[in-house]
A and B are shown apart, each in its own frame.
Chain A
Amino acid sequence: MSAKKSHKFYGHGIPRVKPEDLGGKLIVVEGADGSGRSTQIAELVNWLETSGRPTVQVGLKRSTLVSEELEKAQHGNVLSRTTLSLFYATDFADQLGNIIIPALKAGFIVLADRYIYTLMARDLVRGMDEKWLKNLYGIAPVPDAVFYLTVEPEELVQRNLSKNATLDYWESGMDLGLSREVFDSFLKYQGAMGEAFRLLQKTYKFEIVDANRSVGAVNKELRKKISAVLEE
């Protein structure tokens, strides 16, 4: 890994953090539940650490600041869309300020299990304004690589059911009233999320990885691409 330090922010960035102080690498894996995201990240961490590279992991709803409250609020299903959106942004900003930024400054590899794109896609599907979202997430550093694991909604259903025997309320977009039946709602919602991701892809240029394949095949592709990024 070269010692060259430089990152950019998507927008205004955050107070008192200079992008030129941010070294390390920021690698993002995006994809729906059941796309194999977590499995892939676990494999990547194993690979990176074995080869002597320090890594740190972040993900959604993992901040010390608001993760509990967010969980509680989702159970009660009482949040309106702007509130939910800002709550998630707070969760992201907390991990950004307390984990991502210090780790990048120290030259670590940060692996993000989902990033601002999932948050933006969810909000877009719920009718939030794209310009508003872009301003809000102008605090985010531009990653060195973003991989979007795509799986057909029909295959996602199969994977989720074989794992949990049920479909998650939020991952099915049940709050949107697309259908009263969770199975239909899941398919419609994941289809809409896919479209939102394709819209975001135009601006944010992430790499689309076909995750209908085996874990090993996907991981091989990811390692190859990440190796190239690490040598930059």
Chain B
Amino acid sequence: MKTFAEMNFPGRLIAVEGLDGSGKSTQIYLLKRWLEAEGIKVYFSEWNSSELVKSATSKGKKRELLTPTTFSLIHATDFADRYERHLVPLLRAGYIVLCDRYVFTAFARDVTRGCPAEWVRGNYSFACAPDLTMFFKADLEVSLNRILEGRPKLKFFEAGMDLRLSTDPYESFKIFQGRILEQYMAMSKEFNFVVMDANENVEKQQVLVRKLVSEKIDLKKFKRRSPLPLPPSLAGDHLEKEESEDKAA
């Protein structure tokens, strides 16, 4: 799996991975705010967010009719849609793309659900590797507490109830998350994860995230050359003016 840099894309892709409740979404959000403030061309993309596939995914999850295979494929479809329509064009246009979860989420989850690793990896083989992958590793107990405190009602697939690990959703969730963590750790070296201590406080982690990003990527190169385009109302006025000038001429 080659990185976008190795494939000579002008843009760079940064991914965060980790268990639910590891704090990775907060970290990537703060990273995005910083890059934006620095005037850098940045785009954020979230796992499982393609408009096209969303209704099918939520229908499947609500009716609990997903098998490990369809669960895997519907997420691959979602990823492919975002990859082909957003990620690739933006990376070709020299953007820094931030991904809250990338293919590794599928590698870990779908394999935990029983899909063969080679099959899952093969399906995602159209995607390049991130230029930087940060894995937020909190103690399992810490991640579990963050989730279980905030959202007491666990969803069926989120808790891995389809695996019949336990009839108790909380117990099932714990076992499921533990197995996903094992899968993540097993691929950490192979995919060059930078493992972040997610037990540390949020601010300290963010300092480290920003340091890592600026060491890995020459951010100056990704600054917008021109200011942001005019809002549509002003752009419209401008056009009208031109037209009237034409008429006058």
| A residues neighboring B (CB under 8 Å) | 11-12, 14-16, 64-66, 68-69, 73, 78-83, 85-87, 89-90, 93-94, 96-98, 132, 135-136, 138-139
Q: Is the CB of B67 within 8 A of A69?
A: no
Chain B positions 15-47 with a Cβ under 8 Å from a chain A Cβ: none
The residue in chain B whose Cβ has the minimal distance to the Cβ of A85 is B80
How far, in angstroms, from A231 to B85 measured CA to CA in the complex?
Answer: 50
Which residues does chain A contribute within 8 Å of B155, judged by CB atoms? none
A66 CA to B52 CA in the complex, in Å?
Answer: 10
Q: Is the CB of A132 within 8 A of B70?
A: no
B191 / chain A contacts, CB cutoff of 8 Å: none
Interface members, chain B 55-80 (any A CB < 8 Å): 55-56, 59-60, 65-70, 73-74, 76-77, 80
Query: With contacts A14-B69, A80-B81, A90-B74 known, what are 13 further pairs, Cβ within 8 A?
Result: A12-B116, A14-B67, A15-B113, A16-B114, A65-B66, A69-B56, A80-B84, A83-B80, A83-B84, A86-B73, A90-B56, A93-B73, A96-B69
Q: How far is the CA of A90 from the CA of B116 in the complex (A)?
A: 16
With a CB–CB cut-off of 8 A, which chain A residues contact B118? 12, 135
Taken together as a complex, chains A and B put the C-alpha atoms of A135 and B76 apart, in Å, by 14
| Cβ contacts B75-104/A at 8 Å (1 or 0 each) | 011001101110000000000000000000
Are the CB atoms of A90 and B126 closer together than 8 Å?
no
Q: A90-B70, A93-B67, A97-B70 are in contact. Are A12 and B59 (CB under 8 A)?
A: no
Residues of A within 8 A of B194 (CB): none
Cα-based distance from A136 to B125 in the complex (angstroms): 11
Number of interchain pairs (Cβ within 8 Å)? 94
Ordered by A's residue number, 16 sampled pairs between the chains whose C-beta atoms are within 8 Å are A14-B67, A65-B66, A65-B70, A66-B56, A68-B55, A68-B56, A69-B52, A69-B56, A83-B77, A83-B85, A87-B53, A89-B73, A94-B65, A96-B69, A132-B122, A136-B119
Query: In the complex, what distance in Å separates the CA atom of A97 from the CA atom of B114?
Result: 14
Chain A binding surface, main DSSP class = helix
Query: Nearest CB to that of B72 among chain A residues?
Result: A93
Query: Which residues of chain B have C-beta atoms less than 8 A from A136's C-beta?
Result: 119, 122-123
Q: Is B213 an interface residue (CB 8 A)?
A: no
Determine whether B115 belongs to the interface, using a CB cutoff of 8 Å to chain A.
yes
Contact B70 A79 (CB under 8 A): no
Enumerate chain B residues within 8 angstroms of A66, measured Cβ to Cβ.
56, 74
Contact B52 A11 (CB under 8 A): no
Residues of B within 8 A of A98 (CB): 65, 67
Q: Which 9 A-B pairs have the closest CB atoms?
A: A15-B114, A80-B84, A135-B122, A97-B67, A86-B77, A12-B116, A90-B73, A83-B80, A83-B81
Contact yes or no, A65 B69, CB < 8 A: no
Whether the pair B68, A65 counts as a contact (CB closer than 8 A) is: no
Most B CB contacts (10 A, CB to CB) among A65, A85, A86 go to: A86
A62 to chain B, nearest CB (A): 14
CA distance A99 to B177 in the complex (A): 30
In the assembled complex, the CB of A25 is this many whole angstroms from the nearest CB of chain B, namely: 22
A80 to B59, CA, bound (A): 23
B52: chain A residues at CB < 8 Å are 69, 73, 78-79, 83
* Cβ-neighbour of B80 out of A73, A80, A94, A97 (below 8 A): A80
CA distance A108 to B69 in the complex (A): 22
Question: B83's closest neighbor in chain A, by CB?
Answer: A82
